[in-house]
Amino acid sequence: MPVADYETYCKMLDRAKEKHFAYPAINVTSLTSANAVLKGLAESGSDGIIQVSTGGGAFASGSSVKDMALGAISIAEHVHRAAERYNIYVALHTDHCQANVLDSFVIPLISETERRRAAGQTNLFNSHMFDGSALPLKENLDIAVPLLERCHKNEIILEIEAGVVGGEEDGVKAEGVPAEKLYTTREDMLEVARRLNSVKGARYLFAATFGNVHGVYKPGHVKLKPSILKDGQEAVEKTYGKDASFYLVFHGGSGSSLEDIRETLDYGVVKMNIDTDTQYAFSRPIAGHMLKNYDGVLKVDGEVGNKKQYDPRVYMKLAEESMAERTRQAVGDLRGVDTTLFKG
């Protein structure tokens, strides 16, 4: 099935919210990692989200080019073709894009979708994230509102963030952040609802923070407070009505307990970003192959090595299967097994 269209993507999110499950949104940097996600989702009977970050896009464009938008376009075009072979729906999304790179990442991608639509083609991406969390909330929303208006005209869903996710992702560090900034307040959530709901008919996702930290941590290190999401949703519904409740996104979930993850699903989380854990799942079998077959991978002591062991297809296949397996685990953790809308 092709990449989900706007109507299907909206149905996916609506169903997840209604049934209290979430879609894994997995960062990819190459065709192999994108294929791994498609494989894992399909084997789980789950729809899902493939996403590209600024760093992932730059990497995918090649070390001589380092064009984040070009790399994202290349991956998206592959997924549009490859997804035709799977009996699930997949949405394409771009991850954290801060204000200083909007004009070199998200804006060119929206322009590409506008060009495609004018030519009678489907959207390139289903949704984009603007991460204005480092800005004062007013400035964050002053950028987000007109961006949402432009996205809405093109049947694109916008994701925003208020509050700061700690740790580091793609070289962007949240250093020196006051502890209270790791937790989005009810007042902030009310203001987000007021400003973004003014764009009538637009769909958006909201990454509210509740102690989230990017990166890898041992279980118990990250102290989440999912009740913040519950309190914020209740405040929004009380002020603006039930229909104003958020479609929430969970960032920085590595090291979180399954209990905490599933609690957030009951409060409106419909999308959970996964990157660190799938990066490790991809790299681990490659390391194992190299260590086990070092004398075949390397031309040791003047020998010729073993082409069957240093052929990249051998260990990249292992990486793809391992990342697919981690994707299947994520689907299960998020209560998503056999939830696909695809009826083919």
Instruction: Report the C-alpha gap between 265 and 53 in whole angstroms.
Output: 24
- CB contact at 8 A, 268 and 246: yes
95 noted as active-site residue = yes
Half-sphere exposure of 178 (CA within 13 A, CB side): 5
* Cα dist from 339 to 19, 47, 48, 92, whole Å: 10, 7, 10, 18
The torsion angle over the Cα atoms of residues 112, 113, 117 and 123, rounded to 10 degrees, is: 140
Instruction: Report the C-alpha gap between 89 and 41 in whole angstroms.
Output: 9
Q: If you ran DSSP here, which 8-state letter would residue 175 be given?
A: -
Of 110, 114, 113, 116, the residue nearest 97 (C-alpha): 110
Q: Which of 5, 47, 67, 95 is catalytic?
A: 95
Q: Which residues contact 276 (CB under 8 A, 6 or more apart)?
A: 214, 215, 216, 254
Phi-psi region of 118 (alpha: psi -120 to 50; beta: other; left: phi over 0): alpha
Q: Where in the sequence numbering do the catalytic residues fall? A: 95
